Amino acid sequence: MPELPEVETTRLGITPHVEGRRVAKTLIRQASLRWPIPNDLPEQLARRQLLGISRRGKYLIFRFTHGHMLIHLGMSGSLRIVDADDVPKKHDHVDIIFSGNRCLRYHDPRRFGAILWTSAEVDTHKLLVNLGPEPLSDDFHSEYLFKRSRKRTKDIKTFIMDSHIVVGVGNIYANEALFAAGIRPIKAAGKVTRNQYGMLVEEIKRVLKRSIVQGGTTLRDFVGGDGKPGYFVQQLNVYGREGLPCKVCAKPLKAIRQAQRISVYCNQCQS
């Protein structure tokens, strides 16, 4: 699943090609995604200028004068800039064609993504209104996490992956940040100290920033907006390395399942 760095990499990759351009045509080949694409989306976008693209959690927000289009990439979605005359491939479900024959093409084999429209204030949308702070913002800090975690018995990894607590800390980056902060993923969130939360917040920000700079993590179903894969996967310390030696102490890394996700950690370096 594309995580926050992949979504941000996509935003950075497609923005220069479509921002400021007007929509000439919208082609919907398959409207049945996680939620049906609105029937009037082509009409809403027709001849409208795209003012900008922002991100909230894993949602891309396309801003127009009269409303916003929300895109979520789901499990396997991707956005690419192609020539409007390029023959669509299987699972190329939507084309948004801009002036200059530039086409933003949405590809999604599993069809678990979403393309939605809202004319209301975007922050009040039901999918966004209850989201936690952005992990790279000033609103996400150690004191915030410490206070939200008191008396919580939920394990720390599941806690930081809860989008109501903080958005965009997916499985890969939760594993990596917890390792760097020296915290076991199974530790109860309420047992993590204020100082440990300070280290954890710092590592979450660091690992996400580094991944964005390097183009996101290479996943089977993800490529960036420019068609090139990310490279951060080559620098992962624990994720996907179960049974291999820890890069710090050389002890074999352990793997467990938490909330249907694999957690990999070092029994020696994390407590």
User: Which residues are paired to 83 by β-bridges?
Assistant: 102
Alpha-carbon distances, residue 219 vs 136, 144, 230 (angstroms): 22, 31, 8
Task: Tell me the three-class secondary structure of 29-76, residue by residue.
Answer: CCCECCCECCCCHHHHHCCCECCEEEEECCEEEEEECCEEEEEECCCC
Catalytic residue among 3, 6, 8, 203: 3
Sheet containing 114-118, strands listed edge to edge, beginning at the edge strand earlier in sequence: 52-56, 59-64, 67-72, 114-118
Q: Is 58 a catalytic residue?
A: yes
Three-class DSSP category at 157: helix
State the catalytic residue, choosing from 11, 56, 58, 157. Answer: 58
Q: Known catalytic residue: 133?
A: no
CA distance 137 to 205: 9
Catalytic residue among 55, 110, 241, 261: 261
Contacting residues for 41 by C-beta, under 8 A, at least 6 apart: 26, 28, 69, 115, 117
**How far from chain centre, in Å, is Cα 170?**
7
Residues taking part in catalysis = 2-3, 58, 261
